[in-house]
Amino acid sequence: MIILGLDPSLSCTGWGVIRSEGSRITHVANGQIKTDAKAPMAERLAALQSGLAGVIAKYQPERAAAEEVFVNKNPQSTLKLAQARGAVLAACGAVGLAVHEHAARKVKKAVVGTGAADKNQVQAMLKVLLPGANVAGADAADALAVAIADVHLAPRT
């Protein structure tokens, strides 16, 4: 099964594609979709949706996964994150791609073994779980972690 992991953000949305065959997980691809901070909001959201649509078309995932939304202390940041998530989820919904959502602590626990893991610990485990994968950046690493966690956390169909 091919799974697309997502780390939505207005400035840089990370994505990661893995293949799960039984208990074996392999890296397929990963990357980041960056938007121009000076561009109007509608253009930035369209860029996210279009960029992710291209990823979906290329890799043909069977399902997707994203972290559940969290609330920042800054309401403006929360609103921008929500809008970015909307664009990302719309790209998945447009092609009928189911999206599972997982709490950040559960993703960390599934990948590292503790829900209190930091980004460095998650990235270190990615090197163990996906040897040889060239990770495009922190956002792509988070997306790969979400995809791996989805293998363990998603409801069985």
Residue ranges of the annotated binding site for Mg(2+) are 7, 67, 139
What does the pLDDT look like over 64-108, one tens digit per residue? Answer: 999 887 666 788 888 888 999 999 999 999 999 999 999 999 999
**More confident: 22 or 134:** 134
CA triple 45-16-71, angle to 5 deg:
55
Catalytically active residues, by annotation: 7, 67, 139
Q: What is the pLDDT of residue 157?
A: 55
Q: How many domains does the chain have?
A: 1
Q: Which structural domain, as residue segments, surrounds residue 143?
A: 2-153
The CATH code of the domain that includes 110 is 3.30.420.10
Q: What are 5-43's pLDDT values in tens digits?
A: 999 999 999 999 999 998 899 999 999 999 999 999 999
List residues forming the annotated binding site: 7, 67, 139
Looking at residue 90, what is its pLDDT?
96
Q: What is the DSSP string of 43-105?
A: HHHHHHHHHHHHHHHHH--SEEEEEPP---SSHHHHHHHHHHHHHHHHHHHHTT--EEEE-HH
